[in-house]
Structure 1
């Protein structure tokens, strides 16, 4: 497996931070492949014969993380310490916090070299601290590595007790620019409650949701929301984030009155019922899902392409957490016939006005950043003195907010503040992407074990197709950047760094005599092709019928 450019950068920064500080935190947005990076960091530390424990707080994460680790680091033995297995035999052990925090488990713990904490925003809990204290007692030089998409806690300082620096922060905007998430398009809809919402009291962690509900959850306002959704986004599977359970249920009922098959999910439902509703939503049977924040962690639905913000949030991270549920790209094999180019973020409150416009075109800059080459630019938090990536506006460890200038419309000027990297996928790819025709409508990359094509008929819908031999599969239908990202991911998953480097080196070699003869049979007259250009043209022509069949099925 070949890491994406930002993943390679983050892994390097994390390893450097662990060497310098003995601990570090990686903040990595949903969809970034944080388990791949977690595994790559752990694998580097295992190379010298060390021992690693990876902590999870949910059963399903133990299986998911270990499977990814085996793909990234196939040479290291793995063991499990959880409810039904209790073994330290592997160099890498994947364990459940709830099991490991018990005295018998702590007594059996061997000396560890690296402790990895997934979903590290939970690290301040007593159960985690018991495990960390025991591991450090056995090895005072223990390195602690945390990974999370959402580092915020109500007390904030809990994280600073374990970590004193953040190695890297991979944002939603960076992932959108790289084509790994669909673009969010933000719209603010005033239903007459904005002035009242600005006066809501703020508690330790967020606004008073009971007060928000009293303002937002009225028959008139709910009807306004339903009417707007029916007019502008009824063709999009949607998720509404509400202030309370009652608010979610009342919104569900308002949609049902309008003839929409809406459902509400919350903590008061039984697990079986909640799972059944979510499964029906994922099958496309439920167009509107209302919830009071229960779906902000551990749940993503590729099918979702509209998010309704019916509650306000005092922290931008909370707003991004809600918006992030709808930014996953569609897998066409899982959702045949569906196309998802973006995700609408419909704010019926003041979150977007408070924290900034989510429309990616308005917030992404084009400045080059030395961090893209692995050189991490840093700044220091004035309050807790932690070392942080320059792009963060809020310290993940103590909650300090860096001041930024607002535009006249009340939006963050992220063009100037973040100076986000313009990512050129084709230049950053380890593979040579060859444009076959003058129209630039067909791009092909070839390797030793796989090939990929990105093509479009109309210039709007771009198909990413991956193949091994004569077998091909549709990877995605998206904009050009999204299609290239999916195709490049396919090549990275099926080739090695060594094979990619060797194939790319063919750019400087002329086509072989056999390649030229075969090109002639396809009607190519003359021309000077490099060996890799010839390979791309031949791959496309040998697989042209397959590519057209895949595109025809998808259309």
Structure 2
């Protein structure tokens, strides 16, 4: 049984094929924010197309991720890899490194594809990509339909994607994805450095890296970032993006001096050492990883709930890549704190979190998340008066009242390491279970203990996808009121029926226990008992 798509994923696929069938569009882009399932969307489109598919990417991680995911979407498909010494061009679905595929001898063997996917399509204007796309006939009138995937349709170097793709066939806005609960909300914070960015030149649409690095060093950026994290983000897992490797190292050292378990990473480190650092971040042994241009693409650690942009940028593409490392879902994660480092400027337009949503870049949201700020009429009225802008009213009109319930994160309960649960209405409870390294499943556990557990994931998948599938089930079951962290019923006193049930489980109720607390204890007790029996 294939995975059930989210509504926007179905809409995106239908829009692509409609544009191809009705308007003759052969090369179209689907634009979905990071963390909203571009890979699942494209693999489903490939399965529905049938025949043979070529998947192009420029990083190892972007080849391995869809190759793992295809087992959950299209398990019967034969897969192959064209990368370095791996050479399997005749498979039904070929995952190819563009650096390898563009070599003449390798490209000559890539033939007969019915569908082509270009991951991170904002790179597709590079000569290597164009060479491969021409080689597999994507520009021919009778060539294979070509789907570009990207979280941003803008390039930092200002080159137009229209040279490769004909048009964007579908877009999901970041605000909509947050409102509907597919991504966590952003909580912006700006820290100002005593630095004049007007003195820094622009190269290829962004700040000159050497000049920016020198200016930030002089302004004490490492100490400022460490202070900001300790004051506002301590306890959160964080990724810090810097302009240089030296800045990454200095920032990690500044955090260490404040007692924070921090490390730095660069592309020059051996791959095993990099993996070890990221594994320590995953387990929580390391709380902060500082990096320069290593973790912008192909890195997913959903438990990260703080992103520090310690390198001012004018590139929307780069900025979206950086904050995308913190917007993914994770049990117990409510939002992502985005700390923007800024400096004085009159001639540069900085990209900062509020600006992504049409708010002034220097908007002071007073600790609110983006959607909380947009719903605060007094704050928005004051901002409109300050800026003289009439666009904020239009922005606020985009908030959908019927989506507000999904804006707040659902209440996942941690039963044990590798085991979480979530109420799912009359049907029972959902269990999110780790069954192997980076392998998770979702199961529906009926309230009647005599009934069997139902597996909802056809194959084990990564944690973020499993969590998303569980939450999608709750949406379809219309059990949202049971899982909202802010539901009013949770604040009522625990009922006598709940208290009696707790005692039957051997749990002594606490004085003043609320209905929400009692419900959580009962849910965890039931799940714990069910999975202990299974293990034994």
Same fold per superposition (TM over 0.5): yes
Q: Distance in 2 between matches of 1:77 and 1:246?
A: 45
Whether 1:117 and 2:118 are equivalent positions in the alignment is: yes
**2:425 equivalent among 440, 444, 457:** 444
CA offset at residue 24 of structure 1?
A: 0.3
**Superposed, which structure 2 residues align to 1:8-19 within 5 Å?**
8-19=10-21
Kept in 2, the 8 Å contact 1:363–1:413? The answer is no
Does the CA contact (< 8 Å) of 1:206 and 1:314 recur in 2? yes
Residue matched to 1:416 = 394
Partner residue in 2 for 1:153: 155
Q: Which residues of 2 match residues 140-539 of structure 1 at below 5 A?
A: 140-142=141-143, 143-157=145-159, 159-193=161-195, 196-198=196-198, 200-218=200-218, 220-331=220-331, 339-349=332-342, 351-352=351-352, 356=361, 359-361=369-371, 408=386, 413=391, 416-417=394-395, 420=398, 422=400, 424=402, 443-444=424-425, 446=427, 452=430, 466-467=444-445, 470-471=452-453, 487-489=470-472
Secondary structure at the counterpart of residue 29 of structure 2: strand
Contact 2:156 2:318 in 1 (8 A): no
1:23 counterpart (18, 21, 27): 27
| CA displacement at 1:483 relative to structure 2 | 12
The alpha-carbon deviation at position 65 of structure 1 amounts to 1.3
CA distance in 2, matches of 1:410, 1:221: 33
The CA RMSD over aligned residues, in Å, is 4.2
Deviation at residue 349 of structure 1 after TM alignment: 0.9
Q: Aligned-pair distance for 1:249?
A: 1.8
- Which region of structure 1 is more displaced relative to structure 2, 412-421 or 141-150? 412-421
Change (3 A) 1:421 1:445: farther
SS of residue in 2 equivalent to 1:136: coil
* Residues 226/58 of structure 1: CA separation in 2 closer, same or farther (3 Å cut): closer
1:37 aligns with 2:41: yes
Q: Output the CA distance in 1 between the equivalents of 2:114 and 2:386.
A: 51
What stretches of structure 1 of length at least 5 have no aligned partner?
332-338, 367-404, 429-440, 455-463, 476-481, 501-542
CA displacement at 1:231 relative to structure 2: 2.4
**Distance change >3 Å, CA 52–CA 486, structure 1 → 2:** closer
Whole-angstrom CA distance in 2 between matches of 1:290 and 1:363: 29
Instruction: Report deviation, 1:176.
Output: 1.6
What is the CA–CA distance in structure 2 between the aligned matches of 1:36 and 1:146, rounded to whole Å?
13
Q: Provide the rounded CA distance (Å) in 2 between the counterparts of 1:88 and 1:483.
A: 31
What is the CA distance between 1:32 and its match in structure 2?
Answer: 0.8
**TM-score, normalised via structure 1 length:** 0.66
Separation in structure 2 between the aligned mates of residue 26 and residue 150 of structure 1, nearest angstrom: 10
Matches of 2:468 and 2:72 in 1, distance apart?
20
Cα displacement string for residues 45-72 of structure 1 (whole angstroms, at most 9, x for unaligned residues)? 22xxx43222233344334313323422
Q: 1:31: how far off?
A: 0.7
Distance 1:99 1:222 in 2: 38
Query: How far has the Cα of 1:150 moved from its partner?
Result: 3.8
Q: 1:205 to 1:254 in 2, by over 3 A?
A: same
The CA deviation string for residues 272-309 of structure 1, in whole angstroms up to 9 with x for no partner, is: 22222222122212222222232111112222222222
Distance 1:427 1:245 in 2: 42
What corresponds to 2:347 in structure 1? Answer: none
Q: 1:186 to 1:552 in 2, by over 3 A?
A: farther
The 1-side partners of 2:472 and 2:120 are apart by: 24
Q: What secondary structure does 1:174 align onto?
A: helix
CA contact (8 A) 2:193 2:219 kept: no
CA deviation after TM superposition for structure 1 residue 243, in Å: 1.9
Per-residue CA deviation, residues 136-172 of structure 1 (Å, 9 max, x unaligned), is 2896412221112244434443522110201122233
Pair 144,292 (structure 1): closer, same or farther in 2 beyond 3 Å: same
Partner of 2:419: none
Q: How many Å apart are 1:328 and its aligned residue?
A: 1.9
Residues in 2 aligned to 1:61 and 1:491: alpha-carbon distance in whole angstroms: 30
For residues 245 and 57 of structure 1, the distance between their equivalents in structure 2, rounded to whole angstroms, comes to: 22
* CA offset digits 1:436-483 (Å, max 9, x no partner): xxxxx965164xxx96499xxxxxxxxx984375549999xxxxxx99
Over 3 Å counting, the alpha-carbon distance change for 1:275 and 1:348 in structure 2 is same
Distance in 1 (CA, whole Å) between partners of 2:163 and 2:49 is: 23
Aligned partners of 2:190, 2:42: CA distance in 1, in Å?
A: 37
Per the alignment, residue 521 of structure 1 pairs with none
* Larger displacement relative to structure 2 (99-108 or 296-305): 99-108
Consecutive unaligned residues of structure 2, counting only runs of 5 or more, are 344-350, 377-382, 407-421, 433-441, 458-464, 478-519, 531-536
Distance apart, 1:75 and its partner CA: 4.9
Q: 1:249 to 1:10 in 2, by over 3 A?
A: same
TM-aligned CA distance change 1:420 to 1:259, over 3 Å = same
| Count of residue correspondences | 426
The answer to whether the 8 A contact 1:178-1:485 is kept is no
Task: Work out whether residues 238 and 288 of structure 1, in 8 Å CA contact, stay in contact via their aligned partners in 2.
Answer: yes
Q: Structure 1's 117 and 303: CA in aligned 2 closer, same or farther, altered over 3 A?
A: same
Q: Structure 2 vs 1, CA of residues 411 and 452 (structure 1 numbering), >3 Å: closer, same or farther? A: farther
The separation in 1 between residues aligned to 2:33 and 2:169, in whole angstroms, is 14
Q: TM-score, normalised by structure 2?
A: 0.68
Task: Tell me how far apart the structure 1 counterparts of residues 194 and 390 of structure 2 sit (CA, whole Å).
Answer: 23
Cα offset for 1:38? 0.4
